[in-house]
Structures are given as C-alpha cells and as structure tokens.
Chains A and B, each alone.
Chain A
Amino acid sequence: MKLIIATQTSLALPLIQDLYARQQLAAVWLYDVTGEDSRQLAAQCAMLGIPVQYMHPDNPQALIEHQRDVQADAIVSCYLSFLFPPAMVQALQGKLLNIHASDLPQWRGADPLFWQISTGAESSCLTLHQIAEQADSGDILFQQEFAIHPYDTHQGLNLYLSQQMPLFIAQWWSSGGMDLKPQPQRVVQNTDKPATRPDINSAGINWQQSGCLDIFNLARACNPNLGGAAFSFNQEVLYLLEATPVRHPSYGLEAGTIVHIGEPEGLLVACHDGVLRLDVIYLSAGIFSGLRFAERYQLQAGQSFDSYPITKREKQDGRNNSQYNELCR
C-alpha cells in the first residue's frame, strides 16, 4: 500500500513520518504553504526526500496526474481545508479519503473539535471516509473512538490526535484497508449539528445564556487557537483561556457579576446556574491569572463583566466606572 497525504499543517507530520518509515508514503500534497508552520512542513518533507506536490484549486488535473505517476493506492487528507473539485472527486472516486474527528454525520464541517469541546463531549471518534462532493458526507471506511479529557484544549486534543493518526491508519490497513466495504453514513437527524469554523459569535461568552459548564468548555475550545473565549469589561475585550466551575453561593446575582476577589478562592463570577472561577485571562497587556488581573486593574466585587459581542446598553449609570463607584460609596 502506498498513500498520498494531503495536508496543510505540521500536525500531519507524525503520520507522514510513520508512513515514510514503513515505505508506505507515495507523496505529500501541500496546500496553502504561506504560514511558518506549513513552510516548516514543506522543509521537513524536502529534507526526507519525500515527493511534494502543491495543491492548486484551479488545477485538479495536475493532482490526478501526480497520483497516477506515484502509483498511490489512495489519497488521505487530514488537517486540510482544501475542497476537492467535483471533477477530481469523480476521477478519484473511492481513492480520495479524509480523516474527520467526529462520529459522522454529527459535526460535519471545518472544526469538529471546537464544537465537541465547547459542548462538553466526553468522547468522539476518528472517522476515515471517502470524499464525496458534499463535504464530510462520503461513505465510512473505518472509525476509532477516542476520549476527550475535561481539561483538553482545542490544540491539546489536536496534538493528541496527530500522534494517534499513525496507529489509526495502521489499524485501518490491518483491518483490510482499501478492501473494507465502505458503509454509508446514517441518515442525518435534527440532532446532528454542523461544525462550521467558529466566528466571533461562537467564540464569545454570553453571560445571560451560558452556564458555568458552557463557559468552562468554551474557554477550552478557544484555547489557544482563538486566543480564548471573548467577553468584555468597560468596552475592553478580554479572552478567557481557562475557567473552573466552583461550589460557591451566587446569592441570585445577575450573571457576569463578580462575587469574590481574593486568595485562595480567586476571581469568582456569578453565572445563571452557579459560580465560575476565571483562572487565566488574556488581554493586550499580557496573560494573567484571574485574581492577578482583578487586583492589578482594581476590579471590585459587585462589578459585572459583559457579554461579547457587547450586548449591554451603554453604561450611563457608570456601573463599572471605578471613579464614579468610588464617589458613590
């Protein structure tokens, strides 16, 4: 068996190196080699003498010919945002495969890990499926479950899966590889959600709607790729990289209100269903523990954080204006 690995990040490197060592690597197809990471990947391939083909959406024929030239049994895409043109999908039918990190058809789309972490999934699976014209909809060849630790971050889980990829492909191959009969995906249900690339709305904290666990999970899902889950204070955007739901009375306080600042409890904030400790916050001035941030910038218990994108009315009451608050106590 010889495979082509189609990718755009060095997260695919463990799989590339493993296949190379087993002499099962026909070539690497690289897409969007503009960032430092993908340039390093290209350099690694060059160093190992691996044939590299650059992917251009407007020239699928070059890829088809390259596949033929290197006599690859299949092309496996992983960590790739390239959408194969229909003509190419047709031409390479059955040989064009993708590794997707969800139990398809649940979480079809660009970033299944973000959505699974942000919704608190405790497990998922790697799915090797044939590429069809509609993204992530092709027949399934092989699946393997993996656990999601409650402290996994987006990048942490990505790195873990990157390390698991060689074993996953080896097990697929030892189970029959290309001879396995592809299984159609089950019928899509209403409970199956899309996994679109997270945007400003999906990476923002809505204090009114999100509970402690929701925010805890969102912070993990946004760590570190999105810089953290966004929220705001005095119109300033802050990013929450780590948070912990804690047992602490919230006294019916409005969600987003600071309940406590101090050792050893830290910076505690009321949510509608409990209390959350803000552990690590990123802002333009640096990365701070929640407590140190609160002390350095002289936050006061009773002040409130706002949702992001900012939804609160302009604060004519000066609620978070420390000078005004000082005047009025």
Chain B
Amino acid sequence: MDTAVPNPNTQITFMPEDNSSEQQYSYHPSLLASLNQQLRTSLKTPAKISAGEWPERITNVFSESVCQVINDSPALPVFQQCFQELTGFYCSLDIPAPLRQRQFINKNGLVMSPDYAIRTVLDSVRVSTFWQALSNILPQYAERECHLVYPACGPFAPLLLPVLHFLREQQQLPEKLEVTLIDIHPAAAQSLQALVEATQLDSVVQVLCQDACDYRAEHGSVDILLVEAMQHGLSREGHLNICQHFAPLLAEDALLLPEKVSVRAVLTQAEDEFPAEPRAEGEKNTRRIDIGPVLELSRDTLRQLDLLRLDDGSELIRCLQVKIPEDLDTSVEHILLLTTEIQVHQDLSLPEYASGITHPLPDLSVCIGFEPRNPQPGDLLIKPGDSILFYYRKQGLPGFLPVYVEPV
C-alpha cells in the first residue's frame, strides 16, 4: 500500500519522472532570456524586483486580498494587484519558456500551459467565493487532523494558498492541517514549490508533480478535496475524472469543494442568449426553456455514477434524460445550452455568468426542428417531443454527449 499522506517539509516530488530539467531545452541563453522578458512585458509585471523582496510582497498581497474578501469588500483591483504580484513572482523564477508554454490533452482532459493557467486569479468572483468558503471551513479543523488535497491546482493554487497564509497570520491555521498540492505540469509544480517556500508554508504544504488521477493514498485519507478543474459546461478539463478518482479516498465526513456542480439543459434562441449589445447588469434571458437537469455532481452522486466502458476502452458516464417540449415553436431555431451553477459551500455559490466556469455552453451539434444549413458528421437532428439522454465523455476533452432516445 502506498503512503497515505506524504511528509510535509519535503521538496517538490516529481512523479513518475522529473522532466523539468532546463537542460532538455537546448535554446541559446539569450533566446530564453528574451522569451522570458517577453512574458514579463506581456503580463505587465512589476519593475525589476530582487529575489529577496518577493516573499514580503507576496505575503502582503495575500493578506490584503483575503482580508478584503472576508470583509465583504472585494473589488476587481484587488485581484488585479494579486495577479500582478503573482505573475511578477512567476516571471522571476525564470522557468524556461518551452516548459512554461507546454500544453496538452491527456487521458483525463486538457492540461493548460502554466502561462495561460495563471490568469485564473483574475476570475474574482470564483476566487473570492472559494476564499470565503475556505476561511470559514478551515478554522473548524482546529482540534482534529485534516488532510486537504488540491489536485490540478495550477501554478499558484490560487483558491487556497492566500487563505492559508491569511489564516496563519490570524493564528487560525489548524495545527494538524496537512495540505497536498498536485499538478501534472512541471512548470506549475516549480512555481508552486517556490510560492510555498516564499510564504513559508512548506511545513504545511507539500507539492506533488503528477497526474491527479494517478495519486495514491489510503482509503479515507482525504478530509477536504478542493478541486476546480473545469471550463464552462463542466467541459474540457478533468474535474469529474479527478472527483471520481478521489471518491474512494475521501474520509467518512470529508468535504468536497465545491459541494455541488449542477448542469442543466436549456433551449433558447442564440440571439436571446448572446445579444449583440451587452445586457444590463442583472438582466436575464427570459425566453429560455429549461428542459431539466443533466448532471448534479456532489459527494453523494459521485458514488452513484453510472459508468459505461466501451469496446475501445473509452468510458462514458450515463447522465440524465430530458425531453424536448411537444409544443416547442419550430418557426424559430432553438439551440441547446448547458448551464452550470456551482454551490461552493453551503450558501456560497457561483451562479450563472458569475464566473467564467458558469457561462452557458452552447451545443451547436443539436438541431431541434430544423435542418442545419451546413450538415456535419455528429449532428443530432431531433424534433419537439423527442427525448435526449446525456452521456459524459471522460477521455480526451471531457464533456457531455447528447444522444437521441428511441421512444419505447
């Protein structure tokens, strides 16, 4: 049996192999320097700052940002400042450009380049909601052991590290807290390790460089699973795969953050949902037709997922069935939208459009009551009264796959 919780206080652990070495990129040093400078310029990072100054700058911006969020006064400039400091720090690490820019799709989904992933910090509503949730949750573990795992956390682990620093400053960080940050990308892991050291959280946090779905631990050894690895419509990244992998590792009373991800199917006209002129704040598309839930992902449903293994080795999850209304007006073209709402913890949630990951995802392969002008392989032609069953594709680019259901 593998070790349950690896020891903190250790250096970054690369598994299964360390391929982060700068040596493998035989670029001329001047070219590497120029590429790194280009990143600094494009990210408008702070002027040259000595290595010794970064820990104080990072801890300061963490403290100020989390403090403002907890005091219910978060503003976009807070996150912009946080982003600027973090990217300045990231640039100062001089991680070779070829490593920083590497991006790929693996068996569990899309792995973004760290250069791209760093921008998560700018999704202020998403970040602040998780900060609020975690700053409420973690002090409750003051008297007990707690192993928090944050897989696919990216180069900054932005939903957690600022909160850990803030709580320690407030002397509210649980003594028996152990944190495992996991990211498959060597450049992200390098950045994480440097950030953990700069914030002196290395006694609490360990960094693993591996595919989150290859993580091994004892049954019940994870008390809090913090995972946010998705794009809109629970698509592209490995969120569901990661949750499913960790399900047997969760302790009896473990928390899954976010607690619930709800995806629903909605019919609407494209121009109603995506008007040419931006909508006024709070204004909604009132002409949507909600046709039902597609998937609710929570700790409870995670254990009941209906997994199908196909002959080619790929896996699908059978989700829910919805019916197109009999009386749908087919004189106009309706598109299928997958809407997402995320309940982070208790009453803290990310409603539609609040965050990039809760924007609706149109599925233009579904043509309801009309023939596509430019038919494509994979188009699903259905009519009012038909039913659609959704499957979730786990391999490659994860996402929902609607399938026509023959009437019984």
Select from chain A the residue with minimum beta-carbon distance to B397: A302
| Contacts A300-B116, A312-B374, A316-B364; A253 near B397 (Cβ below 8 A) | yes
Select from chain A the residue with minimum beta-carbon distance to B273: A316
Contacts of A264 in B (CB 8 A): 24
Q: Closest CB of chain A to B115's CB: distance in Å? A: 9
Contacts of A208 in B (CB 8 A): 376-377
Q: Closest CB of chain A to B45's CB: distance in Å? A: 18
The number of residues on chain A lying at the interface, defined by a beta carbon within 8 Å of a beta carbon of chain B, is: 32
**Given A262-B101, A328-B359, list of 4 further CB < 8 A pairs?**
A251-B395, A261-B102, A261-B104, A313-B372
Q: Closest CB of chain B to A258's CB: distance in Å? A: 8
Check A301–B110 contact: CB distance below 8 A.
Answer: yes
B361 within 8 A of A: yes
A-B contact pairs, 21 of them (CB 8 A): A208-B376, A208-B377, A253-B396, A254-B378, A257-B397, A258-B105, A259-B104, A260-B103, A262-B101, A264-B24, A268-B104, A301-B103, A301-B104, A302-B397, A313-B376, A316-B274, A316-B335, A316-B364, A328-B361, A329-B237, A329-B357
B41 within 8 A of A: no
Q: Closest CB of chain A to B291's CB: distance in Å? A: 19
- How far, in angstroms, from A250 to B313 measured CA to CA in the complex? 13
- How far, in angstroms, from A265 to B104 measured CA to CA in the complex? 10
A187 within 8 A of B: no
B interface, how many residues as a size bin?
Answer: 35 or more
Select from chain A the residue with minimum beta-carbon distance to B108: A251
Check B362–A316 contact: CB distance below 8 A.
Answer: yes
Select from chain B the residue with minimum beta-carbon distance to A329: B231
Check B364–A313 contact: CB distance below 8 A.
Answer: yes
| Contacts A260-B104, A262-B102; A252 near B116 (Cβ below 8 A) | no
Q: Closest CB of chain B to A146's CB: distance in Å? A: 39
Contacts of A311 in B (CB 8 A): 374, 376
Contacts of B373 in A (CB 8 A): 313
Contacts of B376 in A (CB 8 A): 208, 311-313
A47 within 8 A of B: no
Q: Closest CB of chain A to B270's CB: distance in Å? A: 6
- How far, in angstroms, from A313 to B375 measured CA to CA in the complex? 8
Q: Residues of A with Cβ closer than 8 Å to B?
A: 208, 249-254, 257-265, 268, 270, 295, 300-302, 311-313, 316-317, 325-329
Check A301–B98 contact: CB distance below 8 A.
Answer: no
Select from chain B the residue with minimum beta-carbon distance to A264: B24
Select from chain B the residue with minimum beta-carbon distance to A312: B376
Check A252–B362 contact: CB distance below 8 A.
Answer: no
Contacts of A326 in B (CB 8 A): 116, 119, 356
B101, B106, B231, B372: the one within 8 Å of A261 (CB): B101
Check B107–A316 contact: CB distance below 8 A.
Answer: no
Q: Closest CB of chain B to A220's CB: distance in Å? A: 27
Q: Give 5 closest A-B pairs by Cβ, nearest first.
A: A262-B102, A251-B396, A263-B98, A260-B104, A328-B232
A251, A263, A328: the one within 8 Å of B105 (CB): A251
Check A302–B359 contact: CB distance below 8 A.
Answer: no
B111 within 8 A of A: yes
Select from chain B the residue with minimum beta-carbon distance to A327: B356
B312 within 8 A of A: yes
- How far, in angstroms, from A329 to B123 measured CA to CA in the complex? 9
